[in-house]
A and B are shown apart, each in its own frame.
Chain A
């Protein structure tokens, strides 16, 4: 079905002038988003969008342009703009497109026709069921901030004068809800979600109950006293940290002197319990993909193994400059040139379930939500400090809820302070997979 996109990309590449390298990325997205409130549809958006991004390299200079349209006239204008932009770039001997590297693009089950045939009315029913179960879960549930169903079919084709030619289609969907629990003047919130490749993968009741439980268990939360504590990050929180950690292992950051791990390949950078992989070929991951943003095969890369730094991730440019090969980690939309990044990071799980992890802690905090990561984590210096909420852990058991505090350390120290990795891998609507993580000696700032 996406072959028409590849045909457009081929046509653009065929317009290359002598001496020009051309790469065209052509995408189409079909999206449905349904929000419900009070047992009825609040909004239903249904739309298809498309776009083209054209990159041109001539004699070590690169230009780029994009358009949110696949009209012939828009493509012609975009090609002309990209050409015009080339001359303003600084000469870079490493500039250039990805070359086919012989790695076979894996056959992954990422597209489900069932998504396309699933009736809108059934999607609506699923979102309404999500809200209904949240509201019925506990008498203290006072409402929902949101309850939604969303799905997308993402098609992309990449072709280049260097011989790249790939096309693919991926389907995904999720349910998400924010629940509110109220007692007296106090309101607390909690979220729940469920992700899948087709609607039948989704479980509205599990998402609803999780949201209700996370909200109600926060009622009565107080600000904890400041101190240094052992912290259990729940899978959702761990995933957000892994996303940031991924940035520090990006080959472009390393080359440009922005990675705190730049000189550490082969060295121990964390607890021996830590094995970090980037594996977009794991189809359970929401961001799984068969090809990267330059059309090279996606692949499993081991970044940290038993605490030892093994690898940085690269796209074609950063690899060429670093004297290595692309790891299939070009990241992009059609509106930008490829950058470098992890596609789907995850820790290899340990053996303990979350209850066992908590049972092993005398005095600590379970953090179920963090806020302000974008302002509180500096991936260049490694300093981090984020807002947090969760539950105190006393004598191996969950105790009173706590809020309005921060947890702080540095990424470097945090990796060394990992004491256990849980066995509870959780796939989330983001490019990192969650798992419970026990980290010692984090600074808790509260009262």
Chain B
């Protein structure tokens, strides 16, 4: 994307005013998407974003500038702007010699979506639409979306790091509306992996469409969710967002450093039930949160955050790690070249236990079974978090009975982690997610086995 000699020159300019660290992050990203809604392929969209973000660190201050102009002159102008923003004292001379490394993710993309004829992508939309509508007359609306992107990044910094990576992601989702006597309900199914068009060798779009339609139909007969506290069983693969919110964000070192995390100062302490092991793993092959290197050029890692209930470590980016005199954990990510990186999760999951999932449900006299969670949100300073249930059922006398309408569950991270009293042996990863923090979205994955929380507050309307 950019010549090594140009990068060295630009980094030299960035450091000239007394910078302690400088970095060029360049990105060339192509997006393609297609949407079918209301029975029509509405449009295909193609997009390209290309540019570079340059940051300069002086003391505790980071200066940042970005440009869509990748010529030497454009990059030097951005480097000067970033250096000025960092307000360095000046007078430094810096020669930067880059050491080119290779990024590896351990598997190959089989079919680049850019090589697939657009007609084939459009054909998938029509098939899913037909399959969803065939599920029943109550399916009153269907929307189907396809998306792929290819993101080529380059990171070069004043420590001599120089690495490039090329990432391909492919995504497919079906959303249905079902209409019945009591109004409308919705059902959704989405899949996404850090792979190419071979996504459709892994999944049958007809089946995905039927799953979405079934979810909407099931909810037509749903009753309002209960209001108040009761045991909650979360289904395998459906509820990783629980850990993303209950502890993931609170273990991001930038929030910890500001005192904005309930997990501050708790490394080495028992923060969760015994048996609970939580991992953030950017190396997880083909998963939605997979990265070969993070957006600061550090290799992805498998980081154990909580081991058998004991907090082992936080997640780190370059800046926070540098302050603490340690290495980054490969969690420095950003939405695009227009953003500064910060500590972000990748694929966050809870390891399987040993119990039979059926037995977990059977040993719950009364509670809620959540098969699929929606999004969530956490206040890391208080630990209070919410997450939505998009597919849930009542558990009565150890059996899954009636479907429930949507609602949020609310809990406190440190308390909920201590209340996990059953872990199934049926681990699975869940659907692709987008994690938002400070206005930046990045792709993340999550996974859980079937598990039970002994008590959570369910935010329904039924007494």
A38, A64, A78, A378: most-surrounded residue (chain B CB, <10 A) = A378
A120 to B61, CA, bound (A): 15
Residues of B within 8 A of A256 (CB): 37-38, 141
B382 touches A44 (CB 8 A): no
Closest Cβ of chain A to B125, distance in Å, is 10
14 A-B Cβ contacts within 8 A? A37-B60, A40-B61, A46-B65, A78-B46, A88-B34, A92-B40, A187-B259, A371-B378, A372-B410, A375-B373, A376-B406, A406-B409, A443-B459, A445-B458
A68 to B81, CA, bound (A): 20
Interface assignment of A74: CB less than 8 Å from any CB of chain B: yes
B177 touches A47 (CB 8 A): no
Category for how many chain A residues contact B: 35 or more
Q: Known contacts A63-B43, A88-B122, A256-B38: does B68 contact A389 (CB below 8 Å)?
A: no
Residues of B within 8 A of A144 (CB): 258
Q: Known contacts A82-B46, A371-B377: does B41 contact A376 (CB below 8 Å)?
A: no
Residues of A within 8 A of B405 (CB): 381, 383
From 21 to 70 in chain B, residues with beta carbon under 8 angstroms from any chain A beta carbon are: 34, 36-51, 59-68
Interface assignment of A62: CB less than 8 Å from any CB of chain B: yes
Interface assignment of A42: CB less than 8 Å from any CB of chain B: yes
Q: Known contacts A49-B68, A49-B338, A374-B375: does B386 contact A189 (CB below 8 Å)?
A: no
Residues of A within 8 A of B362 (CB): none
Which listed residue (B64, B374, B388, B410) contacts A43, Cβ 8 A? B64
Interface assignment of B340: CB less than 8 Å from any CB of chain A: yes
Interface assignment of B119: CB less than 8 Å from any CB of chain A: yes
B47 touches A335 (CB 8 A): yes
Interface flags for B117-133 (1: CB within 8 Å of A; 0: not) read: 01100100000000000
Interface assignment of B412: CB less than 8 Å from any CB of chain A: yes
Q: Known contacts A68-B49, A187-B381, A447-B229: does B259 contact A63 (CB below 8 Å)?
A: no
**Nearest A-chain residue to B340, judged by Cβ:** A43
From 300 to 359 in chain B, residues with beta carbon under 8 angstroms from any chain A beta carbon are: 338, 340
Interface flags for A81-111 (1: CB within 8 Å of B; 0: not) read: 1101100111010000000000000000000
Closest Cβ of chain B to A422, distance in Å, is 25
Closest Cβ of chain B to A76, distance in Å, is 12
Residues of B within 8 A of A272 (CB): none
Closest Cβ of chain B to A254, distance in Å, is 12
A380 to B141, CA, bound (A): 11
A64 touches B61 (CB 8 A): no
A381 to B410, CA, bound (A): 21
B48 touches A376 (CB 8 A): no
**Nearest A-chain residue to B436, judged by Cβ:** A374
Residues of B within 8 A of A446 (CB): 228, 457
A37 touches B186 (CB 8 A): no
Q: Known contacts A88-B118, A256-B141, A376-B407: does B86 contact A443 (CB below 8 Å)?
A: no
Interface assignment of B98: CB less than 8 Å from any CB of chain A: no
From 358 to 374 in chain A, residues with beta carbon under 8 angstroms from any chain B beta carbon are: 371-372, 374
- Would you list the 6 A-B pairs with minimal beta carbon distance, nearest first? A406-B459, A375-B388, A372-B386, A387-B386, A376-B408, A385-B407
Q: Known contacts A260-B183, A378-B406, A406-B410: does B67 contact A42 (CB below 8 Å)?
A: no
Q: Known contacts A43-B64, A445-B458: does B177 contact A380 (CB below 8 Å)?
A: yes
B183 touches A381 (CB 8 A): yes
Residues of B within 8 A of A63 (CB): 43-44
Residues of B within 8 A of A38 (CB): 60
A255 to B140, CA, bound (A): 12
**Nearest A-chain residue to B27, judged by Cβ:** A68
Interface assignment of B262: CB less than 8 Å from any CB of chain A: yes
A371 touches B386 (CB 8 A): yes
Q: Known contacts A44-B86, A387-B410: does B49 contact A67 (CB below 8 Å)?
A: yes
Chain B residues touching A, majority SS: strand
Interface assignment of A428: CB less than 8 Å from any CB of chain B: no
Residues of B within 8 A of A67 (CB): 47-49
A372 touches B375 (CB 8 A): yes
17 extra interface residue pairs, beta carbon distance < 8 Å, beyond A180-B259, A376-B388, A376-B408: A38-B60, A41-B87, A45-B65, A45-B85, A88-B118, A90-B41, A188-B382, A257-B177, A372-B386, A375-B377, A376-B386, A380-B184, A385-B460, A387-B384, A408-B407, A445-B228, A447-B457
Interface assignment of B461: CB less than 8 Å from any CB of chain A: yes
Interface assignment of B269: CB less than 8 Å from any CB of chain A: no
Residues of B within 8 A of A260 (CB): 183-184
A85 to B438, CA, bound (A): 34
Interface flags for A42-63 (1: CB within 8 Å of B; 0: not) read: 1111111110000000000011
From 3 to 20 in chain A, residues with beta carbon under 8 angstroms from any chain B beta carbon are: none
Which listed residue (A37, A64, A404) contacts B258, Cβ 8 A? A37
**Nearest B-chain residue to A29, judged by Cβ:** B338
A85 to B262, CA, bound (A): 50
A314 to B121, CA, bound (A): 30
Closest Cβ of chain A to B331, distance in Å, is 18
Closest Cβ of chain A to B173, distance in Å, is 15
From 114 to 167 in chain A, residues with beta carbon under 8 angstroms from any chain B beta carbon are: 120, 142-146
A406 to B228, CA, bound (A): 9
Residues of A within 8 A of B39 (CB): 90
B86, B225, B386, B388: most-surrounded residue (chain A CB, <10 A) = B386
Closest Cβ of chain A to B25, distance in Å, is 13
Residues of A within 8 A of B119 (CB): 88
A406 to B387, CA, bound (A): 11
Interface assignment of B411: CB less than 8 Å from any CB of chain A: yes
Closest Cβ of chain A to B14, distance in Å, is 14
**Nearest B-chain residue to A182, judged by Cβ:** B259
Interface assignment of B255: CB less than 8 Å from any CB of chain A: yes
Interface flags for A402-414 (1: CB within 8 Å of B; 0: not) read: 0111111100000
Residues of A within 8 A of B183 (CB): 260, 381-382
Residues of A within 8 A of B412 (CB): 404
Interface assignment of B379: CB less than 8 Å from any CB of chain A: yes
Interface flags for B175-211 (1: CB within 8 Å of A; 0: not) read: 0010100011110000000000000000000000000
Interface assignment of B227: CB less than 8 Å from any CB of chain A: yes
**Nearest A-chain residue to B38, judged by Cβ:** A256
